[in-house]
Structure 1
Amino acid sequence: MPPEDKPGNLTQLSGRLLERGALRRTPAGIPVLEFLLAHVSTQVEADVERKVECEMACVAMGRPAQVLLAAKPGDGIRVAGFLAARSLKRRSPILHVNTVEFVEGTENGIQAEK
């Protein structure tokens, strides 16, 4: 199947940074940062508005990980990336972040891309 015919796995989510782990590096020296994002919004489902709240485990590697070092708990961010299993044994999803955008009061609308 050509790449353009394959189902997509693009996830975009905005929210507040709840927790941010310490920056670590892979054996190849690539920066890695895990964090937890809290999302709250109003969505329409079956023609009815409902409040949606969730927490999403995220991981950023490379430049997005370095950019997130400037974030502190409570900061508003918008991220985009793809969902994958956390590990071979833990199949719960984690959002692998490719882009990060700070929202609400950040100077210059800092954005990092892969």
Structure 2
Amino acid sequence: MNRLVLSAQLVERGALRYTPAGLPALDLSLKHESEVSENGVPRKVSLEIKALGIGEITVVLSKMALGATGQFGGFLAAMRNGRGMRFHITSVDASPAMAA
């Protein structure tokens, strides 16, 4: 199963664009920082990941303020150029305080 749920901060949002199929799409960057236990030892984790929202989810994502945090759900897929991966967002849990 390819399912990712990530608590993260919205740090960058591109302009709304449309796919060749006519669906709205937003390119995003998300930042995550936490402390996890790995083999019983605490470890600080910090990462920034490229993300993409396509379709109805773009309405929610476009209303989120930069710097807002939320719980993003979706899946990982290879980027078109084959270099790296991107987090495709299919759901977001954001409180009203997170919207602009």
**Alignment TM-score > 0.5, same fold:** yes
Q: 1:70 aligns with which of 32, 45, 63?
A: 63
**Residues 1:104 and 1:45: Cα distance change in structure 2 (over 3 Å):** farther
User: What is the alpha-carbon root mean square deviation over aligned residues?
Assistant: 1.6
How many residues align? The count is: 99
Secondary structure of the corresponding residue to residue 74 of structure 1: coil
- The question of 1:79 aligning with 2:72 is answered yes
Q: 1:30 aligns with which of 10, 23, 30?
A: 23
In structure 2, what residue type is equivalent to 1:91?
Answer: R
Structure 1: which 5+ runs fail to align? Answer: 1-7, 108-114
Q: Which portions of structure 1, spanning 4 or more consecutive aligned residues, are displaced by more than 4 angstroms?
A: none
5 Å-filtered alignment, 1:1-114, equals 8-87=1-80, 89-103=81-95, 105-106=97-98
Secondary structure of the corresponding residue to residue 80 of structure 1: strand
Structure 2: which 5+ runs fail to align? Answer: none
TM-score (norm 2): 0.91
Contact kept, 8 Å, 2:77 with 2:86, in 1: the verdict is yes
Secondary structure of the corresponding residue to residue 66 of structure 1: helix
Q: 1: CA distance between counterparts of 2:53 and 2:33?
A: 21
In structure 1, what residue type is equivalent to 2:36?
Answer: Q
Secondary structure of the corresponding residue to residue 46 of structure 2: strand
Q: 1: CA distance between counterparts of 2:95 and 2:85?
A: 25
Identity %: 37
Q: 1: CA distance between counterparts of 2:33 and 2:21?
A: 36
